[in-house]
Chain A
Amino acid sequence: GENVEQHPSTLSVQEGDSAVIKCTYSDSASNYFPWYKQELGKRPQLIIDIRSNVGEKKDQRIAVTLNKTAKHFSLHITETQPEDSAVYFCAAGGPYGNNRLAFGKGNQVVVIP
């Protein structure tokens, strides 16, 4: 089955700087890559997703890039703010008719004011 890995496990950034989280996946058939943000004690919430026919997608301060050849995708957060502090999960899904996702283990992002 699909194996998704995230690096680094913890990331500390100064407020206003950029944060980058990278994920790798193993199944070359995977074609859907969402990112979820989870604040302490809360549900995971979708913040952005990208499909394999697109190389990059942006939504305000958040962007995701995909490299299908290398089988990795990255989340970029610019101009970080304290409310960006959370755990971020990447996931990968394939064309198997069940919308199933394989999740990475998560990255703790800490934005230092």
Chain B
Amino acid sequence: NAGVTQTPKFRVLKTGQSMTLLCAQDMNHEYMYWYRQDPGMGLRLIHYSVGEGTTAKGEVPDGYNVSRLKKQNFLLGLESAAPSQTSVYFCASSYDRDPGPNQPQHFGDGTRLSIL
């Protein structure tokens, strides 16, 4: 049981390039999330998904797109990378108990992305 796996772990891009970050979970979780973490800013939600085929905007969605074609995978795309998107990106997933109490989110190891 690997939990939440993020690919790649590191990447350097040039301004204007595109790329996709992959998040995979093997816990059969319904909910998945993409965060970015910048120094002094905590974890900010980019997009999230409450189930296969669904996506929703979070706190800082501009410049990013996501897709959830399979329940176990959540992809984050940067169509035209900008230096302001240099960050550490974390994916998380959680079990669905709706209606019911919230469940903990489990995080991947992160992707360190630098945009020059």
Contacts and interface: CB of A to CB of B under 8 A. Distances in A.
Interface string A16-53: 00000000000000011010100000111110010100
A101 B103 CA distance: 10
Contacts of B96: 99
Interface residues of A, number: 26
Contacts of B48: 98, 100
B102 A43 contact: no
Given A89-B42, A106-B42, A101 B110 contact: no
Interface in B14-50: 31, 33, 40-45, 48, 50
Nearest to B98: A97
- Give chain B's interface secondary structure class: loop
B104 A31 contact: no
A43 B108 contact: yes
Contacts of A106: 40, 42
B41 A105 contact: yes
Given A98-B48, A98-B56, A99-B96, A31 B102 contact: yes
A51 B78 CA distance: 36
A64 to B, nearest CB: 13
Nearest to A105: B42
B42 A1 contact: no
Contact of A44 (B31, B94, B107): B107
Given A99-B96, A103-B42, A31 B110 contact: no
A34 B31 CA distance: 17
B59 interface: yes
Nearest to B95: A99
Interface of B: 31, 33, 40-45, 48, 50, 56, 58-59, 90, 94, 96, 98-99, 101-110
Interface of A: 1, 31-32, 34, 36, 42-46, 49, 51, 89, 93-95, 97-106
9 contacts: A44-B107, A93-B102, A97-B98, A98-B50, A99-B31, A99-B103, A99-B105, A100-B48, A105-B40
